[in-house]
Structure 1
Amino acid sequence: MSPSPPPSSSVAGQPKRERRKEARPGELLEAALDLFVEKGFAATRVDEVAARAGVSKGTLFLYFPSKEELFKAVVRENIAGRFTEWNAELQTFAGSTSDLLRYCYQVWWERVGSTKASGITKLMLSEAQNFPDIVAFYQHEVILPGKALIRRILERGIARGEFRAIDLDYGVFLVLAPMIFLMMWKHSLGACVPEGENLTPERYIACQVDNLLQGLCVRPDAAPAPQSPPPSPSRS
């Protein structure tokens, strides 16, 4: 009996390169995210993205006709595309609004803040003035939906009598500020801090939420101070 031939790198006559075609968009987006975060938008070249993904530049352009479209796809894949699920979770959340706010910070950190995608915020802050079209896209796809989602959370708390009535236009920024700080710490500020002064994101988030809720939550009216008994009449 003749020995069996070694396993082929193809299936049903298709070479490996061709079989991986359906996976290429995801691989390109992953490679693009890595490079955009490492080098910024301006310095990233599409041929570098293609090389890191293991395909030709021509293959990349089959899926994404320009670097701008590639960047937009990265943002949609990692951030903007999550707003549908986040809004659905908000709609069905059954707990208190305080619990909802804590949950939203936790989910944001797990799905965005702790990932490479958080570096997109640093990229936008550092390069926004040079790319107005990218800024307009990011405002429409990320900033406005994000602010609307936070506003819904605050409105929920106010409507249920759990939160004080506040200026919602600025209350949104109170919620956003800790997120922005953590992303900048992860991708920039943290490198400037002396060794040993590490920040634990989960503890930082818990502290910030506690502070926010101290200011947001409605407190029962303080009990009136006990009145002193009237002085006893003096005896003459």
Structure 2
Amino acid sequence: MLPGEPKFRRRKADRPGEIVQAAMAVFAERGFAAARLDEIAARAGVSKGALYLYFETKEDLFRAVVGQVVAPNLAQVKAMAAAHPGPFPDLVRGLAQHVTHLVQTTPVGGVVKMVIGEARNFPELARVWHDDLVSQALGAVAGAIQAAQARGEVKPGDPRSFALQLISPLLVGVIWRETFVPVGAPPFDLSALMRQHLDTLLNGMLAEDARP
């Protein structure tokens, strides 16, 4: 910020990001069908007319949530997977810690539930989520598993299936938290859940010579 720069200029530059953050929160709480643009605008502190200057539809807002909020975390996952030559268990635990922190500190879990619950009526949500996020994350982890297999760390098996096995308990834990905890079910500690899961699964995935 330059000295004496008017506050409204700073606010105008910040508005698209604030609108996207507000949209993510409203999507997580209300779902896609029930989310209203005027509520998103109010959360962002702008008028509905100002919101339309940046985003014409809820679909545009959803794509922005994916591209501006969630995708940068995916880029970190892909970079971690690409830059880590081994040992494989250290990479997996680092990735799990990163993704678990994301779902514990942002509304992304509520958006995941929204995509799952409303995909039949709004298939474009599932398409964007799959193409821009899920398939790429799964591919990055599968690639790391394939590299670990080539090094002799991981047993033979389909890398993509192994990747799905690694992440599935976290997804189930998030769905549990978003669906059943609000009606009184006891929550799971997602960090502890993933630690226990990885301890169990890695014993089956790792080749004998790669086990600690």
TM-score, length-scaled by structure 1: 0.80
Matched, 1:34 2:53: no
Against the structure 1 CA distance between its residues 191 and 13, is the aligned structure 2 distance closer, same or farther, given a 3 Å change threshold?
closer
Question: In the TM superposition, what whole-angstrom CA distance separates every residue of 1:153-197 from its partner, at most 9, and x where no partner exists?
Answer: 211221110110112342222112112112112211333555xx4
Q: What residue is the counterpart of 1:213 in the other structure?
A: 202
- Inter-partner Cα distance in structure 2 for 1:15 and 1:61: 23
Q: CA RMSD in A?
A: 2.1
Q: Compare the two structures and name the one with the higher helix fraction.
A: 2
Q: What residue is the counterpart of 2:96 in the other structure?
A: 105
Q: What residue is the counterpart of 2:178 in the other structure?
A: 187
Unpaired runs of 5+ residues, structure 1, are 1-10, 221-236
- Inter-partner Cα distance in structure 2 for 1:34 and 1:19: 23
- State percent identity of aligned pairs: 33
Deviation of 1:200 after TM superposition, in Å, equals 1.6
- Inter-partner Cα distance in structure 2 for 1:209 and 1:12: 52
Deviation of 1:94 after TM superposition, in Å, equals 4.4
Q: What residue is the counterpart of 1:96 in the other structure?
A: 87
Q: Bigger relative contact order, structure 1 or 2, given CA contacts below 8 A and separation 6+? A: 2
- Inter-partner Cα distance in structure 2 for 1:18 and 1:37: 30
Native 8 Å contact 1:97 1:157 kept in 2: yes
Matches within 5 A, 1:29-178: 29-178=20-169
Unpaired runs of 5+ residues, structure 2, are none
- 3-state SS in 1 of match to 2:68: helix
Matched, 1:204 2:193: yes
Kindly name which structure, 1 or 2, has the bigger radius of gyration based on alpha carbons.
1
Against the structure 1 CA distance between its residues 198 and 124, is the aligned structure 2 distance closer, same or farther, given a 3 Å change threshold?
closer
Against the structure 1 CA distance between its residues 174 and 193, is the aligned structure 2 distance closer, same or farther, given a 3 Å change threshold?
farther
Against the structure 1 CA distance between its residues 92 and 23, is the aligned structure 2 distance closer, same or farther, given a 3 Å change threshold?
same
